[in-house]
A and B are shown apart, each in its own frame.
Chain A
């Protein structure tokens, strides 16, 4: 247990782990939905501290990773236009499109800017009335309310040169897709805490009941994860399948009502393609009819871009928890953070990047020579 000293409260971590070890009597497979949680788990070696019988399967909750290739290509085409200022969060810069990324577009003269908040992009639009300002609106239920508010403000203050390239995704339909997949091994979910800070827990009891899986809302720090895992294993051992909140300091049952109301106004539910996985019904949001004028796809006529994923990249299987990153042949050889084949190797929340960063010496000793330090 070499990592346990790094825990904020090693004594509490030890007690939680002891409880998990004492409770688990049979093999269980838990999926952590969120990429932020995957990052913490791998960084702190939490999976290695658990009993051998408790397996963590890494889920599809990395927003950068699941943004489909065709949306990336649309972003690249728009960003390369001379009349456009293209604004994005920093983690999208190196996500590979079909033949380049945003970082490359910028080096070729595109005006690509990184913002901390979508409201910063709106400010840029106000300051540059003669340019088109596009914000790359990706993310789960946590990120959708900020983007919704920004479009709401653009409409309210009549800022015609602002638009949003939207690729928002929702967690509950992804859980449904995972549970109905024939190869599914998942027996319980650690639900993403900050998604629930916004959405609350209303959407989960029906899923827990239908698929007979415990769903435990879990935070992002090492101790939060241990507590979420502990509560999940307890339910599994008792044959229970309820929705439980192990992150009450940030999650209220009803979520954030103001944010939910804004989501209902600005967005409408739509089918959405997930990179490497395919289309999941009702799994995303697009702008609702009254905000359609602010949709960058329509404004720049990029609706018809079609793409194909590189065959060597198995990120779709990684995102569905069917393989671990190091079981992909490209991992650490042809695919590294410097030369990523798929988005899971780019984002700090991507499972492949987390394994590369913290595990490659352990999981791929034979490939070290072919994998120089990035």
Chain B
């Protein structure tokens, strides 16, 4: 019997839909421990593919006979080999055809809000914990923090019957390659980012600091660019219709953005302090915070999206209540020792437009999780 293939999309809907699948990840243990497919109810196990080259009963004792096993590896080849071995032994088995490579470019859109004024969609790139947003009003759309696989946004806009007018990055990203500029080129939309993020760049962009408000659609969709420095000096958040705060990498559901990727941890931590206790302080507790990243699958809430009210975040994160400037700075700058996003220095340069890479190289640089969301519990 030929083994079945499973796509990243199918795998995700099985994980989410209560139709269980058991994941057998056959990459090396260090790769598995660093970065794997996760889900709240998901069972997964790691046995490297070369273990299956030996006839050894111990390989099989943890594999279920009554549940479909999805075999996953880096690019698909080793998973196919293991899937064939399991298939011969009578297991119900499928394999992810292009492995973690495919998982890393799988995007899942979730509608967060539908009102007369607008529709707000969160696009979750699960493998990286990267979130981007599409706000649609009267047939026009704005996209915030798009990732590199721009077809995802083009297709989504087409399904929504919307024309992409505005594209923005909340800041110069260090964990993923932005799709902003390319998407702007393809659609003719305006690409916005803070100019302090783009020094030395040749990329055409509209400086965000020149726009206090960006309006589009017949209905009044108000988008305020709020300077929220800290993660980077030019970080902004967008307050959409006074209700949704697209907070970039400054405030997460589980904590605050790390200020250390520019090598000035203490200085940027001071800016982050001002962001939390001055800029954001005035926003009401029921403001819905929608960040650009999450660090843990548990941050996906019951609505299927990553987000929490400012009130909830203030309550659950001590750092949001640490009003002592010194103490705050110590704590936040102290996260500087945590693992940095893989290849972040090169990714920053690509996003600034000072380095160009091929699609293959981009894939290689982006592999792995984001590490911009550091928990402050």
Q: Do A and B come from one complex?
A: no
Chain B residues near A (Cβ < 8 Å) = none
